[in-house]
Structure 1
Amino acid sequence: MDGQGPASSDDAPWLIVGAGALGQLFAASLAAFRPVILLGRHLAQPAIRLRKVDGTDVEIALARERLKDWIAKRGEYSVPALVVLATKSHDTQTALDALTPSLAPTTPLLLLQNGFQVQPRISEHWAGPVLCASTTEAAYRPMPEPKPKPKPKPEPEGDSHSDFHLSRPDVVHAAAGETWIGDLAGRHAALATVVADDLSQAGIAATACADIRLRLWHKLAINAVINPLTASHGVRNGELTRVEFRPRIEALISEIDRIMRAEGIKPPAAGWQALIDGVIEATAANRSSMLQDVLAGRPTERDAILWPLIDAGLRHELATPALTALYRATLA
């Protein structure tokens, strides 16, 4: 059974687990078109302040709960049509394990994680359909600003919301991208189409695909170069065009190319170097997600992004000195 029915129900909510940048972006975008519940670690107001790509701010009302509270009050909510796991890769299995007793065994899942670590494992063990997404949507949560010393001011006149656009947003949609959706076994094409159509209607350009494994590996190659280098050196993506980074990038790409060939992953038409250089150029002003994690003092996705390549190198008896050195130099 493909599982199209539940996810296409208009009145059943999508449960989005993980209130990071991507989880908030997806929740805020979808909330105008279908019921959404956003689950996170902390208590939050039932709204998201989103700064759109054009720089305007909007406040979107939607249901928000702590994960543990939703589990405790499970009977008060409708059965979710789809569970979107938007946590960091190292938190995904723990979040799913906590949710599992409260979900029907065949509930469809959509995985938004970086890397290629949790996707095969969950796809193999979850009884229901498991979709994977590869997305180039760019979003971030602004760093908290130091609180200025209070100064006495006269009460402002006029609209009480006059300072709306001066307030710090919860999430910034830095750049629109593309999202590809499919399942690793190729059994749920109709469900992938339904989910992609719903996302596209909500303003997140999405397409169902039959080659999601290929797309996840291609994104893994990009992330394995950009994320750890920017995080370990504390630079934005565009700084990787500096001449001192070129030998390291070329060494990483050489190892990645050999690993991909051994895994049976076709290279992009223009080659790995052109693909990665193009992303660095297109995202020059961005801080990578791993750099954002380092700056915020959060655990990084080092294992999810670098270890699948190193592990594949070990399985195929390929030397990976550049990848291994980068793994050791990157904060966990």
Structure 2
Amino acid sequence: MNAPVAVVGPGSVGLALAARLALHGHPVTLCGRPDSPVVPAIELTEQSTRRSVDVGWGGEPHDVGPVPWVVVTTKLHQTGSAGVWLERLVDRDTLVVAAQNGVDHRERLAPWVPADRVAPALVYFNAERRGRGEVEVRHSGPDLAVGDDGPGRQARLLLGPAGFQVEIAADFTTAAWRKLMVNAVANPVTALTCRRVDVFREPAVRALTRTMLSEVAAVGRAEGASLPDSAVDDVLAWLDARPTGAGSSMLDDRLAGRPLEYDGLLGAVVRRAGSHGLGVPACEAALALISALDGGRPERASALVHITGPSIRESQCRQ
């Protein structure tokens, strides 16, 4: 039997990783909100193939103890909730895979996990939750990227045999900012328009997307990432190559009436731009609009925002 794994955050990415790890023989425990319904099994759909696998469920943090592996997949604004679980799951021998968005994985988990026990992981596969324990996964190229260091190589040994294509990124800072270029722009645009990747074929939207990407790249370069001018075209080409029907996690959250993750993505870009004295007007405008979905004001964009209304259909969203 392979080593036990706890997956903190039973969203779309968490379900996908947990299902593959369980299918590979790892005893997997899903850890979510104590008041959320139990997920005893995951229905995983990949390339029209549907498989079901049993998993454990962590009802309360005090019900679990240290495990060799923890995979954190919560949204950035839920990291504090993940910390309650990490306090119980992590000991000196635990390695934590931070499969989250953003560019500061180790700093984010520092209150609970030493930096040398954290493996930041960039998620590239597209996962969409279809139900409480159901997830559909689409693959195109590498599924994940990890750093070229001890924790990263260990994480590859966990995730690679489970069926994921994991690449080692020699320059993880650049890889993380390339990923942030996608997340900080594609997520808000799809959520604001309630459109999937087809929206980037609209000329006006494409022009705005190019401007926003250029602004994010400038901030990334100021942060030490190697992002040539061609990085913008690379991201646009990546969006064009997304499978038909692919959306974004922020679009999914808006449709389901869940909190939006914009502050740790687009908000982080705007804040870091300010620290470098860079102007990012298009990103600032998009941030004001995405924050306003909650009825909030632009100056509250750095606050944790909750969208508590009922779920909506994409057709309703566009009305």
User: Do they superpose with TM above 0.5?
Assistant: yes
Q: Which amino acid aligns with 1:248?
A: L
1:28-177 superposed matches below 5 A = 28-33=19-24, 34-41=26-33, 42-52=36-46, 54-66=47-59, 68=60, 71-74=61-64, 79-105=66-92, 107-123=94-110, 126-127=113-114, 129-142=117-130, 170-177=134-141
The equivalent residue for 2:155 is 195
Aligned pair in 2 of structure 1 residues 17, 226: CA closer, same or farther (>3 Å)? same
C-alpha displacement at 1:201, in angstroms? Answer: 1.1
Normalized against structure 1, the TM-score is what? Answer: 0.79
C-alpha displacement at 1:17, in angstroms? Answer: 0.6
Deviates most, 193-202 or 316-325: 193-202
Question: Matched residues in 2 for 1:92 and 1:255: separation?
Answer: 27
The equivalent residue for 1:293 is 253
Residue 237 of structure 2: which of 270, 275, 278 is its match?
278
Q: Secondary structure at the match of 1:31?
A: helix
Q: State, as a whole percentage, how many aligned pairs show the same letter.
A: 30
- Is contact 1:135-1:180 (8 Å) kept? yes
Question: Matched residues in 2 for 1:12 and 1:57: separation?
Answer: 25
C-alpha displacement at 1:96, in angstroms? Answer: 1.4
C-alpha displacement at 1:108, in angstroms? Answer: 1.8
Deviates most, 237-246 or 214-223: 237-246
Structure number with the bigger relative contact order (C-alpha 8 A, sep ≥ 6) is 1
Aligned pair in 2 of structure 1 residues 31, 319: CA closer, same or farther (>3 Å)? same
Residue 180 of structure 1: which of 132, 139, 145 is its match?
145
- Is contact 1:138-1:175 (8 Å) kept? yes
C-alpha displacement at 1:278, in angstroms? Answer: 1.3
Aligned length: 286
Calculate the aligned-residue CA RMSD, in Å.
2.3
Q: Which amino acid aligns with 1:192?
A: G
Deviates most, 287-296 or 249-258: 249-258
- Is contact 1:36-1:63 (8 Å) kept? yes
Question: Matched residues in 1 for 2:210 and 2:2: separation?
Answer: 50
Gaps of 5+ in 2: 294-304, 306-319
The equivalent residue for 2:315 is none
Aligned pair in 2 of structure 1 residues 102, 136: CA closer, same or farther (>3 Å)? closer
- Is contact 1:133-1:180 (8 Å) kept? yes
Deviations 1:115-164 (A, max 9, x none): 235543325863251110012111111269xxxxxxxxxxxxxxxxxxxx
Q: Which amino acid aligns with 1:44?
A: V
- Is contact 1:116-1:304 (8 Å) kept? no
Q: Secondary structure at the match of 1:266?
A: coil
C-alpha displacement at 1:256, in angstroms? Answer: 1.9
- Is contact 2:83-2:112 (8 Å) kept? no
Q: Secondary structure at the match of 2:130?
A: coil
The equivalent residue for 2:172 is 212
Q: Which has the larger radius of gyration?
A: 1
Question: Matched residues in 1 for 2:191 and 2:101: separation?
Answer: 15
- Is contact 2:173-2:224 (8 Å) kept? no
C-alpha displacement at 1:94, in angstroms? Answer: 2.3
C-alpha displacement at 1:177, in angstroms? Answer: 4.2
Q: Secondary structure at the match of 2:260?
A: coil
Question: Matched residues in 1 for 2:248 and 2:122: separation?
Answer: 16
Q: Which amino acid aligns with 1:36?
A: V
Q: Secondary structure at the match of 1:255?
A: helix
